[in-house]
Chain A
């Protein structure tokens, strides 16, 4: 096959259009590679066919391209790495998406921590609040008691009687405040020596020779209210077994005072 035959038989066109068999193709390719003039002619031919094609463009639907790009992504995982590397746009968007996701995650984690902290703080505050409330209650009760004692003591109708210890307990001193109008008795036991766990001081009122129980004196208080007994002639304190006694142990009388 020579150049002349090639041109006259339109083989170049047929070659271009892909009509030739492998053997003919090879021959033409050899000729084209060795003949610059022929190659130029072929180039021109190709260019014309291309222009012809581009002039008759029919735009295909967008979905074909979408499917194509999806297709090449799923067709090969090996190429995916390269694709990502070279595709700056998607990498960029991917980066932004990843950053946002990361920030959201950190944000959520931070919020979660904050929530836990706040919960803990709230619990502490609640506990403190309960404690404070208890304290206030205790203080209120103490205040009430103190107020009661105070009003009882400062009342102009209140009489003060001092019970001084006898030979059995010379260092003892109890101050009693008796108000016959409001019928109240308050005693200050600050100067009463401590007793062991098996014994208590007990107070008695003498009414026409009979000793009537006014109550057991508490060990942990310095001011306390005792029962008021009508027509009492004297106040007496004895040492009795722990918890008190029905009748006074007269031998253990430590102090007494007569009311006038």
Chain B
């Protein structure tokens, strides 16, 4: 697989194949986030398509010095999803997290899509929930600490600790993989 730097350079030169490859690499992760935020497959698919359309149109705006491509992509998708959620119900305020619990109209989606997988499942419940709220449900820290009913400072430390543990898990996985690779 080509590395991202080359792909992104091609993408900026309007190479469809680069977009196609980047889509193949990241659409699943992004779709997962959108689905967990909006809980509507039809809308999620539209937002996903829209996100990559923006990636295509605004590729020159991406600055690799400021962060990873995935982070940029994540932010675009998240903003688009939040915009759709706000439009869907104008009464819902940006800082009102009830947006996620008050959606009778939504087509119920397969709960499998909402389940978390991987290293996050090994975390303690409150750590897991903190990450889930800010990362997969698109809440801000300010919204999320209310949702969890803990002070903002506490919530922030939950996030920090959760990330620290994830980092260690990934580092272990990485060294394990390296070990296997060495053994081979």
Residues of A at the B interface (CB closer than 8 Å) are: 9-10, 13-14, 16-19, 29, 32-33, 42-61, 63-65, 67-69, 71-73, 75-76, 79, 82-83, 86-87, 89
**Contact (Cβ within 8 A) A59 B31:** yes
Residues A82 and B13 in contact in the complex (CB < 8 Å), given A48-B163, A56-B117: yes
Residues A55 and B28 in contact in the complex (CB < 8 Å), given A16-B67, A69-B20: no
Near A by CB (< 8 A), chain B positions 53-104 give 53, 56-57, 65-68, 70-71, 74-75, 78-79
B7 at the interface (CB under 8 A from A): no
Q: Which 3 A-B residue pairs are closest in the complex by CB-CB distance?
A: A55-B118, A57-B28, A53-B29
User: Count of chain B residues with Cβ under 8 Å from any Cβ of A?
Assistant: 55
Q: Of residues B16, B33, B131, which shows the largest number of chain A Cβ atoms within 10 Å of its Cβ?
A: B16
B5 at the interface (CB under 8 A from A): no
**Contact (Cβ within 8 A) A53 B166:** no
**Contact (Cβ within 8 A) A10 B160:** yes
In the complex, the chain A residue whose C-beta lies closest to that of B157 is A10
Instruction: Give CA–CA (A60, B50) in the complex, Å.
Output: 13
Cβ 8 A contact of B53, one of A46, A53, A75: A75
Residues from chain B with Cβ under 8 Å of A29 in the complex? 66
Instruction: Give CA–CA (A76, B56) in the complex, Å.
Output: 11
Cβ 8 A contact of B134, one of A17, A32, A53: A17
B167 at the interface (CB under 8 A from A): yes
**Contact (Cβ within 8 A) B160 A46:** no
**Contact (Cβ within 8 A) B13 A13:** no
In the complex, the chain A residue whose C-beta lies closest to that of B170 is A51
Residues from chain A with Cβ under 8 Å of B119 in the complex? 51-52, 55
How many Å from the CB of B121 to the closest CB on chain A?
9
Instruction: Give CA–CA (A64, B32) in the complex, Å.
Output: 14
In the complex, the chain A residue whose C-beta lies closest to that of B158 is A10
B48 at the interface (CB under 8 A from A): yes
In the complex, the chain B residue whose C-beta lies closest to that of A60 is B31
Instruction: Give CA–CA (A10, B66) in the complex, Å.
Output: 18
B35 at the interface (CB under 8 A from A): yes
How many Å from the CB of A43 to the closest CB on chain B?
8
Selected A-B contacts with CB under 8 Å, 7 pairs: A18-B74, A18-B75, A43-B68, A53-B70, A64-B45, A69-B16, A72-B19
Residues from chain A with Cβ under 8 Å of B53 in the complex? 68, 71-72, 75
B172 at the interface (CB under 8 A from A): no
Instruction: Give CA–CA (A9, B142) in the complex, Å.
Output: 12
**Contact (Cβ within 8 A) A49 B74:** yes
How many Å from the CB of B126 to the closest CB on chain A?
15
**Contact (Cβ within 8 A) B159 A10:** yes
In the complex, the chain B residue whose C-beta lies closest to that of A7 is B160
How many Å from the CB of A110 to the closest CB on chain B?
38
How many Å from the CB of B98 to the closest CB on chain A?
18
How many Å from the CB of B182 to the closest CB on chain A?
21
Residues from chain A with Cβ under 8 Å of B134 in the complex? 13, 17, 19
Residues from chain B with Cβ under 8 Å of A55 in the complex? 117-120
Residues from chain A with Cβ under 8 Å of B49 in the complex? 64, 67-68, 71
